[in-house]
Structure 1
Amino acid sequence: MAPHETETIPDALRAWAVNWADYAPVDITPPELRPDSLAREVPDWAERAATPADVHDWPLRQSGALVPFQLDARGWPLHPQGRTGRTGRNLGRWGENAAADPIVVAGHGEYRRLLLITRDDIGVEAIPGGMCEPGETAPATLARELREETGVDLSDHQPSILGRDVVDDWRQSDYAWIASTSAVYRLPDVVPAVAADDAMDVRWWPFGTFDQLATAITTAGRTLYTAHRPLLQRALDHLAQH
């Protein structure tokens, strides 16, 4: 299975309230997050808990979640959108992993441009963004991730928050997922950008319409990150109204 592919769950069986006796999700836990490895060394981007049972602050995590979630009878967190076809953990934390996605646009109308990076983990075109650090607010994460991955510093700009949503990320599982704050930054014109950190490349793309963006990316022999498509469409809808 390619890293950007997700399991397909029938809509009728996705909800946790629906009984599915034969449900057999695939464990996607990488070697470094398996119990034996965590007992020896914990990666600097992950928590030590080998299973959700080792987490003791679920009420706090639930109260601070971007997207509400419930716990099962064992006290394990359940993906807010239902079954994913995956179990285990391939993210830093069990339950919600908060992230931020800064959508930077320059210009107007058919001449509008969008700033995207090429992710170094799966090699696709994506919004520059990433995980919130402990105690970090979403606005701070938006500005930090943008600066770290593109060199563009918009810390003195006030973005328009589009929403707080679960992201269909390839690393999600039934017990660990990403919820992101997405926001739009508007600039009068493009500014210099340099790929760094988790970005292999950075480029301004045509963004008059979604079809224009998709065609440009395909023509360049590249692929747009599937999970970011709805976020970019929401940004276009927002821009059309403001």
Structure 2
Amino acid sequence: MTTTTYAPVDHPGTPVPAERRSWEIPWPGYAPVDITPPELRPAGLPASVADGWAQPYATPQDVPNWAERLRSALVPYALDADGWPLNPTGRTGRSGRNLGSWGENAAADPIVVAGTGDARRVLLIRRRDVQQWAVPGGMVDPGETAPAALVRELYEETGVDLTAVAPVILDQRYVDDWRATDHAWVATTAALYRLGDVVPATAGDDAADARWWPLRDLDQLARDLAPVGELYEAHRPLLGAALTACRVAGE
């Protein structure tokens, strides 16, 4: 009987040279590091399922609806010959899962911007898991639409209710999330909410803090955040897309 050896969830994984990242390139000796945490291994999985954040499948072979998942994916991906989902960006050096689902985990990231020009502000939260400043957001619940998740996550993490405000969908893209492995990753729907002025925000749910920050350019934002927790780099492209949309609109 083979015993799986697990590494900590923050393990960087097996080094993957750029020329071997693609799944199209054969790599017979590839041995990724399994970073599945105890709460997602067979013994701990039932409790995580009961808590409502994990799906009840110990391995990808247990998932009953891969055809449906592949059709609805925000970022297209494939399954290997054994039925395991393959990260659309290629090998990561890490296997297993540190997310609620195998394959794509759909997220929703509302980017709330108030004011224009030098008075422009963006609403960010300080994440409890990595203690960095990020866009408020989170996973889309089963049966939930991305627009509904945008409103819900924003309210849960900042107390700001923008149900009546129509957002602009900026992008649907892969997120360079720290939890990603070869077989589980995050893709998000990013949406821009424009407000005339800031509104009160209070940290809640997974947020340790919630504040409005000046948003003249991304380098300036990163400098402002550096002394108090730094910018969550995975969200830099999302913030860049929002800033570009504001500038194109002349705001």
**Structures share a fold, TM > 0.5?**
yes
The Cα of 1:150 is off from its aligned counterpart by: 0.2
The Cα of 1:21 is off from its aligned counterpart by: 2.2
1:235 — aligned with what? 242
Partner of 1:35, secondary structure, is coil
Q: Give the whole-Å Cα distance in 1 for the aligned partners of 2:233 and 2:10.
A: 8
2:86 — aligned with what? 78
Which of 126, 130, 133 is the matching residue for 2:138? 130
Partner of 1:180, secondary structure, is strand
Say if 1:136 and 1:86 are closer, same or farther in 2 by CA, change over 3 A.
same
Which of 228, 233, 240 is the matching residue for 1:221? 228
2:17 — aligned with what? 10
2:40 — aligned with what? 33
Which of 91, 96, 99 is the matching residue for 1:91? 99
Aligned residues: 241
Partner of 2:85, secondary structure, is coil
Indicate conservation of the 8 Å contact 1:107/1:113, yes or no: yes
Q: Give the whole-Å Cα distance in 2 for the aligned partners of 1:40 and 1:186.
A: 40
Query: Which blocks of at least 5 consecutive residues in structure 2 are unaligned?
Result: 1-6
Say if 1:166 and 1:147 are closer, same or farther in 2 by CA, change over 3 A.
same
| Residues 78-101 of structure 1: CA deviation (Å, up to 9, x unaligned) | 111111111001111111111000
Indicate conservation of the 8 Å contact 1:3/1:122, yes or no: no
Query: Which blocks of at least 5 consecutive residues in structure 1 are unaligned?
Result: none
Indicate conservation of the 8 Å contact 1:28/1:87, yes or no: yes
Q: Which residues in structure 2 correspond to 1:16-165 (within 5 Å)?
A: 16-38=23-45, 42=49, 43-165=51-173
State percent identity of aligned pairs.
58
Indicate conservation of the 8 Å contact 2:105/2:139, yes or no: yes
Partner of 1:183, secondary structure, is strand
The Cα of 1:40 is off from its aligned counterpart by: 7.2
The Cα of 1:41 is off from its aligned counterpart by: 6.6
CA RMSD of aligned residues (A): 1.7
Which of 167, 170, 186 is the matching residue for 2:178? 170
Q: Which amino acid aligns with 1:208?
A: R
2:192 — aligned with what? 184
Indicate conservation of the 8 Å contact 2:55/2:101, yes or no: yes
The Cα of 1:212 is off from its aligned counterpart by: 1.7
Q: Which amino acid aligns with 2:68?
A: L
